[in-house]
Amino acid sequence: MVRSGGRRWYGQVLAAALGVTAVAAMASFWNAQVGSAEGRPPVKSSAKPHARKAAPVSAEIVHASDGGARGVNITIDDGPDPVWTPRVLEVLRDNGVKATFCMVGTQARAHPDLVKAVVAAGHRLCDHTVSHDVTMDHKSKAYQSQQILDAERMITEASGGVRPLYYRAPGGAFTPYSRHLAASHGMRPLGWNVDTKDFELPGTNTIVATVKDEISNGPTLLFHDAGGDRSETVAALEEVLPWLKEQGYAFGFPVR
């Protein structure tokens, strides 16, 4: 049997708990109303919200640009890299160009500050799998799922909650399954039209010439900011971006 003093103590604790709950609920309601009325966001709760799955997009591989008939998409693969990503970001900033960064999950997890810097500069994120396996199209569905969805999680966590909007298969190793899986998570499969082959270190002049010779193939250009010495890529971007502007091209993002 609980003594009367114990009952009073228990009642006080219960009342206090209920009071806190009621106050919290009222505060949440009031914050929402005030934020809506005055144009300010409501005060956020410290509790983590449940993860929200992105709305599905088309599973067809996209090449088109939202920049219009003369739009081009600059895409940067395999990073982020602590040496070369900042250099690429600097060139893009100096030319007023936004790009899509196709990130490898392990690289994003290792360099979250760079992922956040990419997002803060107004660029978009793309899932480029966990380990950049160019033989993914010969692997099981379970393996493809792990590579795509784990990378999506790594990139989203590294960015502070910004999700990748595209999925690019390493080496173009798409499968119908991987395309539909990515699309069901809100990531449009992303191809390319101009492969600069900068990863082969052909020389800055060759990279620039490839862009000039092949830009008529389509709007999406492929460069890299990781996987080795990317000084040629940086130098090529410094030349290519002003040239594209001179030719009347506008920079955009891949169509979603």
**Active-site option among 66, 224, 225, 229:** 224
Maximum C-alpha span of the chain: 90
Q: Give, for 168, the enclosing helix (H) or strand (E).
A: none
Establish whether 132 is a catalytic residue: no
**Active-site option among 50, 77, 113, 198:** 77
Determine the residue type at 209: A
Closest CA relative to residue 232, chosen from 91, 111, 36: 91
* The pair of three-digit structure tokens given for residue 205, joined into one six-digit string: 């002049």
Q: How many CB atoms lie within 10 A of CB 173?
A: 17
Establish whether 77 is a catalytic residue: yes
Which contacts qualify for 27-34: CB closer than 8 Å, 24 or more apart? none
Catalytic residues: 77, 224
